[in-house]
Amino acid sequence: MKALLGAVLSAGMGMAVELPLPQAVWLTYARNAPTHVQVNWVTAQPCASTVRYGADEACVQRAEDQSPVTLHHVEVPLPAAGDFYYRLESGGAVTAPVKFAGLPGEELRVAMVADWGFAGADVSAILKDEPHLLVTGGDHVAGLHGNGTAGDAAKTNLVPHLKLLGAYPALFRHVPVMPVLGNHDREIRPRGKPETLKDPVYDVEANAYRLLFPLPDDGWKWRFEVPAFGVRFVGLDLNHVQDLGTLLQTCHDYREASEQLAWYRGVMEGPGPRFTLTLNNEKSSVVQGLAKGEWARLMRRGTLTATGFGYFAERAERDGLPWFNTSLNGKGTVYKDPASRFIASENSYLLFRFKKGSATVRVEIKRLADGQVLDASEWPQARPSPR
């Protein structure tokens, strides 16, 4: 990072020194469609934010923000098709070019992971799938407190998430990530025993997460569409719902009169693409009963629901809607869904495969160790359900 701040022109050659990339560089989408990509990184000292980009490694175009900051977010426009590269620039010097996964021509591949905070994951199998997007089911870190940081000070503690982002450069530098919140992503105090608590355990507003990940809508809930493939992903804030109104509350309100449910209803009952995939961090059988079944009714208007609640791999089917669970740490207690059709205690991830013009999406539950397909199923485009 110091090199990023201190690089100067080479006196002997008159050519720009090539900067090393910061360890933590990651991509996100901050809009509801992939017209632009957000390039994010951190530096040790405040400086301007400059990204060079283009269709080849020369990266002749530039996007910048001259405000001196240590947490950098720069949005750059994406071409409708073709290759795309970016470089970071500082003091007239630039990093080596990084090729962005970009948007595909014939098949869109989206990987989903969960519970990274409790797994030392080897992502080689995921990289071999060459995903164009990475979505999550929450719990990317084990918590925000520790090492002398707790309470309000932990609300903006970026270190745990930055360690994760820096540990997997081959993934996060190349593939945009659209994360969904779990409770651990905003845990600012140890849970302890409920009867001994005096202060909130979680930052419901998820300040650290929202600072790091520029996402559409409110960030803690979001929707993202890929029109070329007729696909929409919706990220919800549902986890530990039983703790609403207590010092253990972690997620936003989900009840019948809540903002979150009204927003989701507007998304699901309005015009939409062929496929809608809803992502969250709560147990599927629990979601079924929330708001007198309204969440489940709206989810049935889409294609499928996927979560990272449990430490196992599962496919359940209920009322024509598949419910998937995945976890990078798949060796925990198994909470089998009554409607389960496949279940395995395996470290796993999901791969969603959309072929242009197809009326179905293929969903693969894959073993993390070697990418072996443990379960595969095909699901049709959304069919609106009656009230």
Rounded CA separation 94/91 (Å):
8
Q: Which long-range contacts (C-beta less than 8 Å, at least 24 apart) are formed by 341-344? A: 341/315, 341/316, 341/317, 342/313, 342/314, 342/315, 342/374, 342/375, 343/312, 343/313, 343/314, 343/315, 344/312, 344/313, 344/314, 344/374, 344/375
pLDDT at residue 320, rounded to an integer: 86
Q: In the prediction, which pLDDT does 17 show?
A: 62
| Cα 264 from Cα 331, distance rounded (Å) | 32
Nearest to 352, CA basis, from 135, 110, 182 = 110
User: What is the fold, at CATH topology level, of the domain defined by 2-99?
Assistant: Immunoglobulin-like (2.60.40)
What is the pLDDT at residue 63? Answer: 97
Q: What is the pLDDT along the chain (387 residues), one digit of tens a residue?
A: 333 333 322 322 233 567 899 999 999 999 999 999 999 999 988 999 999 999 999 999 999 999 999 999 999 999 877 789 999 998 778 999 999 877 888 999 999 999 999 987 899 999 999 999 999 999 999 999 988 888 999 999 999 999 999 999 999 999 999 999 999 999 999 988 888 899 999 999 999 999 999 999 999 999 999 999 999 999 999 999 999 999 999 999 999 999 999 999 999 998 889 999 999 999 999 999 999 999 999 999 999 999 999 999 999 999 889 999 999 999 999 999 999 999 999 999 999 999 999 999 999 999 999 999 999 999 998 655 544
Strand order in the sheet with 231-235: 222-226, 231-235, 275-280, 304-307, 321-325, 313-318, 340-344
Q: How many CA atoms lie within 13 A of 156 on its CB side?
A: 3
Q: Does domain 107-380 have CATH number 1.20.120.420?
A: no
Taking phi first (over 0 means left), then psi (-120 to 50 degrees means alpha), and beta for anything else, what does residue 271 get? beta
pLDDT at 102: 79
Domain ranges of the chain: 2-99, 107-380
The token pair at 133 is 């997007």
For position 9, what pLDDT does the model report? 27
**Token digits of residue 282:** 């709560």
The pLDDT of residue 193 = 85
pLDDT of residue 78: 93
Q: Do domains 2-99 and 107-380 have the same CATH topology?
A: no
pLDDT at position 383: 59
